Amino acid sequence: MKLNGKVAIITGAASGIGAATARLFAREGARVVIADIDAERGQRVVQEIAAEGGVARFISTDVSQRAQLQRMVEMTVGEFGGIDILHNNAFWNISKPLAELEESEWDQTLAVTLKAAFLGSKYVIPPMLRAGSGVILNTASIHALIAFPKAPAYDVAKAGLLALTRSVALDYAPQIRANAILPGSIDTGPTRVASEEERQICLRRTVLGRFGTGEEIARAALFLCSDDSSFVTGASVVVDGGWTIRW
């Protein structure tokens, strides 16, 4: 029970890495807030956690909207009395080269993937400081380290998360730790809808020769959000099956 008694908000937790992390955190004793726009799948995760004896709450949240992020934090504090962990995990992406990318698509990618992490952190930092401790975890990506075809806005947003992580870690130590996790090719929604050719390229580039799972990323997130990593802050932890050591 590495998170016993903790309160954790996870954005984008209705599916994929976020859902796997929510389930694991709940099994480790955390009271979990699933913040997502997908109410049906978000409530399903809540029910799965409750069936295992955990505590979870769904809060409908469009992370591109400042007022909804502020409401998310206020509702969590109101119900659970505080916030110990914020996992900024939501993202949005569209595959287009830069010259074909609409300004609105650029703005949406950065709003959901990067600006939301800024605003979510902005609103949880005061209650964390009042409590004297807290952890902020940002889901970046190997896109932060490597340029991918037809992903200019997403590459920029994920790289920006690394700078944001370092800034928060520096400004709010020692009370608050901030770290980033960088997944590689994970067998969740985006990978599953990719073409077979794209999937095979990912497999060839991953040294371990397989896709990672949401559960494997969740276990890395658990390490970074628990006292197991009490001397880790401002770090970028790559969990990519060896993709970046080859490419």
Catalytic residues: 154
Determine contact, residues 208/151, Cβ cutoff 8 Å. no
Alpha carbon distance 195, 73 (integer Å): 38
Dihedral of the CA atoms 116, 118, 119, 122 (nearest 10)? 150
Beta partners for residue 179, in sequence order: 137
Beta bridge partners of 236: 180
Do 18 and 87 touch, CB atoms closer than 8 A? yes
Inter-CA distances, 175 with 23, 121, 165, Å: 26, 14, 15
**Most distant CA atoms of the chain, gap in Å:** 51
In DSSP notation, 73-140 reads HHHHHHHHS--SEEEE---------GGG--HHHHHHHHIIIIIHHHHHHHHHHHHHHHHT-EEEEEE-
